Amino acid sequence: MGERTVEVVRAGALTTVQDRGRPGHAHLGVPRSGALDAPAAALANRLVGNPVGAAVLETTLSGCAVRPRCAVWAAVTGAPCRVTVDGRPVGPGTAVRVPAGAVLDLGRAVPGVRSYLALSGGVAVEPVLGSRSTDLLSGLGPAPLVDGAVFPLGAPGPPRGWVDVAPQPGPPGVLVLGVRFGPRADWFTSGALRTLTTGAYRVSAASNRVGLRTEGPALDRAVCAELPSEGVVLGAVQVPADGRPVVFLADHPTTGGYPVVAVVRAADLAAAAQAAPGTPVRFVVASARGGRPGRR
C-alpha cells in the first residue's frame, strides 16, 4: 500500500478543502464555513464509505485534477462534470477505484458551479477549531489548492455499500429562495418588500463563498440612518448601499452594518451554491411550516 497522500496536478479556478464547517464560533468573529452544497458533499462521502462529515474537495466551475499515491475509492457529486481516470471516462455519482499514480480529473461544471470530490479516508489536513474547512473570509484552515501541492488522506473506513449511480438534484434553472422577513424589514418601504418577492433578479458574477450577489431592482429604504454593526446569520439577505440583495453563504462575516431585510430557509442554500451567474432568482415568502416550491 502506497503513501496515503494526494498530489494536486491541476488546482482549477478555486478548489478548497471543506467539511461541515466550524459552527459555534461567531462570538469570536469566526464564520461557519464548510461545504456550500452540504448534501452533495455528504453524498460523496457516503459513496466511498467515509463519515458524512469527512473533509472533501470543493471545486469551482473549472474542476481540478489530482494524483493519489495510493489506490483509493473516489466519488464526484454536485455540479455535473466530465470525470476521467488517466483519460478514461467514469461516471459521476458513483464510487470509482483509482489506482496509485493515476490522474483523476474533474472537468468544467456544466451546468452548475461546485463539484465535490470525496476520497476514501477523507482529506486529513490539520483541523482548526474542530474543522478542516478553508475559510476564505478569515483565512482559517488550509489555503486553496495550488498546482503541485500534496495533502494527506486519513485511514479508509469499513467497506461501503455498492451503488451504481446515486440520484441527486440538478443545478437550478431558476433559483427559488424561501424567505422570512426580518430582522430589519421595517427599514425598507412596503414597496421594497413587494419588489423583493416580485422583482426579476439574477445571480451576479461577483458571487462567491461569502455571498450570492444579485442583479436586479434596488430596494428602497424607509430608514436611511446608519445601522450599528450587528450579528448576521447564514442565509441573511443583506442590502448594501446599492440596494441589491446579497444572500450570505458559508464564509459570511459574523457582523454587518447594512440592514438584513430577510433570511433564506437553510434548506434552500444548497441550491444557491449551484446557481451559475445569470441564473434567475425568485424570493418567495416561506410559510410558517416551511413549505414552498421545490429546488428546480
| Sign of the alpha-carbon torsion through 41, 47, 48, 54 | positive
> What length is written for the chain?
296
Instruction: Per-residue pLDDT tens, the chain, 296 aa: give them.
Output: 469 999 999 999 999 999 999 999 988 899 999 999 999 999 999 999 999 999 999 999 999 999 999 999 999 999 999 999 999 999 889 999 999 999 999 999 999 999 999 999 999 999 999 999 999 999 999 999 999 999 999 999 876 667 777 888 888 999 999 999 999 999 999 999 999 999 999 999 999 999 999 999 999 999 999 899 999 999 999 999 999 999 999 999 999 999 999 999 999 999 999 999 999 999 999 875 544 444 33
Which among 20, 9, 28 is positioned nearest to 231, based on CA atoms? 28
**pLDDT attached to residue 165:** 77
Cα gap 120→292, rounded to integer Å: 36
For residue 64 the three cell numbers come to: 481540478
**pLDDT attached to residue 287:** 75
Indicate the DSSP class of residue 267.
G
Burial 140-152 (b: 16+ CB within 10 A, else e): bbbebbeeebebe
Indicate the DSSP class of residue 100.
T
| E strands, the chain, in order | 5-10, 16-18, 56-58, 64-68, 72-78, 83-85, 88-90, 96-98, 104-106, 115-119, 150-152, 175-181, 201-203, 211-215, 230-231, 236-238, 246-248, 255-256, 260-264, 280-285
**pLDDT attached to residue 159:** 63
Cα angle value 53/59/61 (rounded, 5°): 145
C-alpha distances (whole Å) from 191 to each of 52, 66, 177 are 44, 51, 19
Cα gap 257→187, rounded to integer Å: 13
**pLDDT attached to residue 288:** 56
Judged by DSSP in three states, 31 sits in coil
Under 8 Å CB-to-CB from 225, ≥6 apart: which residues?
none
Cα gap 141→164, rounded to integer Å: 34
For residue 107 the three cell numbers come to: 472537468
Cα gap 8→117, rounded to integer Å: 13
Cα gap 174→70, rounded to integer Å: 41
For the CA atoms of 206, 212, 214, 220, the dihedral, rounded to the nearest 10 degrees, stands at -120
Domain annotation for the chain: domains and CATH numbers: 5-152 (no CATH), 175-285 (2.40.100.10)
Cα gap 92→86, rounded to integer Å: 15
Cα gap 293→178, rounded to integer Å: 8
Parallel, antiparallel or unpaired: strands 175-181 and 280-285 = parallel
**pLDDT attached to residue 2:** 64
